């Protein structure tokens, strides 16, 4: 056999071998993708769609923290995704995303195995800042990137990390919230990996610091045997309000007061609190008023939060619309300085209200949805509201509202759920023995046929205060996919 014939024969042989290997691999792949003989096919609903499983719940992305850009064209927000690690453990990672207020395809701004949370636009619109512990595990610092995205860089290096931040109105300073530094004893325990924790003893107070971005210099603003939260700059950047309580423990939430500090000299003054409790202070755009929520006493039990106004220069608090008797959420000022928006829990929906002609005002309902809606902020021109919204068949997404307050969803982080058949929920009401009306949320099994008898589960909320709303509940959806009817009663003592 000459060399030419040998080469041709060798080429043919190699082609036959390659073909055999390819066919074998294809057959093996096809065999691997077939369900095992004893493995049931994925369950389907009557409409042919998939049924939600407990494992599917791990795929639901959490959407939160919407922030509208200073020019009102974009919204930054966070998406939390649960991922399977190499060691087969689940890990939750949060990233910063940005979407146009007109909707469309969002952009992911941060990536990696470290979470990026609490996005904030700089007031001049040039930057986006966020918190992450990329450099040192467990110690979050403020990082920044250009408003159009790109590589991020570390801004702060506060010892022990920071828990929150706020840009000053001129974008030159950051107001940092950070826990007190650990004692030498705690540092020594950490070195030997002693993670013993004594409940109600190992408590860290949080305080405020001013950070000059250009100079990278810190200045402590508050200190003492109390903890500080929810700091807010005045519009002119000369003063700051904040909430204090004895400790970060949940039971001390009923012991909160609103304070004010002057940035230039550090002078502090209590604005509101005793004999009741005060929280959620928010400045009016012109700086003439501070809106806050307050209850009438310091009982650690259930209480109703009402809306109040106070002048930053002193005076008695003004109770806004004393006829309104529902507990309200954090107030949000409109740019006109005369309108305040807030939400409140009502079983059929979370209603959104507004007040007008501050300080002598009456509440007026803006809209009511069959789900859960919250207002985060309003654009500078007063034309766009942004917040989060959820319904019985839809996990939380971001919405914007314009022209008559008609919410439009602009994110679709869980669009894969469109392939699933989800249960319907409805609000039901019944009379107690003494005639008191009780409400609850009833979810029927997926594909329920009227008149059919089905297994029934009673699922009361915890708290004991709180309320079950007609919004997305993954656990309830999985139970309904397995043929159960579920009632979530709002028994006496529930909020709303």
> Could you give the CA distance from residue 437 to residue 77 in angstroms, rounded to a whole number?
39
Among the residue ranges 82-91, 137-146, 288-297, the one predicted with the least confidence is: 82-91
Residue 362: the pLDDT is: 62
Greater model confidence, 321 or 445: 445
> Which top CATH class is 55-417?
mainly beta
Residue 334: the pLDDT is: 86
In the chain, which segments carry CATH 2.140.10.30?
55-417
Residue 89: the pLDDT is: 80
pLDDT (tens digit per residue) in 319-365? 887 677 777 889 999 888 888 888 776 544 444 556 655 555 666 66
Tell me what the mean pLDDT of segment 212-219 comes to: 97
> Could you give the CA distance from residue 267 to residue 210 in angstroms, rounded to a whole number?
15
Question: Cα dihedral angle (426, 427, 428, 429), rounded to 10 degrees?
Answer: -170
| Residue matched to tokens 């755009």 | 285
Mean pLDDT of the chain: 84
Residue 349: the pLDDT is: 40
Instruction: Identify the top-confidence range among 29-43, 167-181, 377-391, 466-480.
Output: 167-181
pLDDT (tens digit per residue) in 255-275? 889 999 999 999 999 999 877
Residue 178: the pLDDT is: 96
What ranges in 130-273 are assigned the alpha helix state H? 184-191
pLDDT (tens digit per residue) in 272-288? 987 778 999 999 999 99
Percent of the chain with pLDDT over 70: 79
Residue 124: the pLDDT is: 97
How many other CB atoms are there within 10 angstroms of residue 368's CB atom? 14
> Could you give the CA distance from residue 484 to residue 445 in angstroms, rounded to a whole number?
5
Handedness of CA 476, 366, 401, 124 (dihedral sign): negative
Give the rounded distance of the alpha carbon of 85 from its chain centre.
24
> Could you give the CA distance from residue 209 to residue 141 in angstroms, rounded to a whole number?
13
146 closest CA partner among 116, 122, 123, 172? 122
Among the residue ranges 102-116, 156-170, 174-188, 443-457, the one predicted with the least confidence is: 174-188
117 closest CA partner among 154, 158, 65? 65
């Amino acid at each position: 056999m000459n060399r030419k014939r040998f080469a041709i024969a060798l080429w043919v042989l190699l082609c036959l071998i390659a073909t055999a290997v390819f066919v074998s691999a294809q057959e093996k792949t096809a065999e691997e993708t077939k369900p095992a003989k004893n493995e049931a096919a994925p369950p389907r609903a009557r409409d042919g769609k998939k049924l939600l499983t407990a494992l599917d719940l791990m795929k639901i992305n959490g959407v939160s923290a919407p922030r509208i850009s200073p020019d009102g064209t974009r919204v930054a927000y966070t998406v939390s995704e649960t991922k399977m690690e190499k060691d087969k453990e689940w890990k939750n990672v949060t990233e910063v995303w940005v979407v146009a207020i007109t909707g469309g395809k969002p952009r992911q701004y941060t990536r990696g195995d470290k979470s990026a949370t609490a996005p904030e636009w700089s007031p001049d619109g040039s930057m986006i800042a966020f918190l992450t512990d990329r450099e040192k595990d467990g110690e979050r610092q403020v990082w920044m990137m250009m408003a159009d995205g790109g590589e991020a860089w570390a801004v702060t290096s506060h010892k022990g990390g920071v828990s929150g931040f706020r840009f000053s109105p001129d974008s030159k300073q950051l107001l940092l919230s950070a826990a007190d530094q650990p004692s030498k004893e705690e540092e020594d325990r950490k070195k030997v990996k002693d993670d013993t924790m004594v409940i109600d003893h190992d408590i860290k107070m949080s305080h405020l610091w001013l950070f000059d971005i250009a100079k990278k210099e810190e200045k402590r603003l508050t200190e003492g045997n109390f903890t500080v939260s929810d700091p807010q700059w005045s519009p002119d950047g000369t003063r700051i309000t904040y909430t204090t309580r004895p400790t970060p423990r949940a039971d001390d939430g009923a012991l909160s007061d609103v304070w004010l500090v002057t940035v230039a000299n550090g002078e502090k003054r209590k604005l509101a609190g005793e004999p009741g409790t005060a929280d959620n202070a928010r400045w009016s755009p012109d700086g003439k008023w501070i809106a806050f929520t307050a209850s009438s006493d310091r009982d650690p039990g259930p209480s109703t939060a009402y809306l109040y106004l106070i002048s930053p220069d002193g005076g008695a608090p003004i109770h806004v619309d004393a006829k309104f008797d529902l507990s309200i959420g954090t107030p949000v000022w409109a740019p006109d300085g005369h309108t305040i928006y807030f939400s409140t829990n009502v079983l059929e929906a979370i209603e959104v209200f507004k007040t007008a002609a501050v300080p002598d005002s009456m509440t007026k309902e803006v809209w009511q949805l069959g789900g859960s809606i919250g207002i985060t902020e309003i654009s500078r021109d007063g034309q766009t509201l942004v917040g989060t919204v959820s319904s019985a068949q839809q996990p939380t997404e971001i919405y914007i509202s314009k022209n008559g307050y008609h919410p439009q969803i602009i994110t679709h982080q869980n669009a894969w759920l469109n392939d699933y058949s989800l249960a319907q929920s409805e609000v039901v009401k019944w009379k107690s023995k003494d005639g008191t009306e009780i409400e609850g949320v009833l979810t029927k099994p997926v594909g329920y046929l009227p008149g059919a008898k089905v297994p029934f589960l009673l699922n009361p909320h915890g708290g004991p205060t709180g309320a079950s709303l007609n919004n997305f509940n993954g656990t309830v959806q999985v139970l309904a996919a397995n043929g159960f009817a579920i009632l979530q009663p709002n028994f006496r003592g529930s909020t709303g």
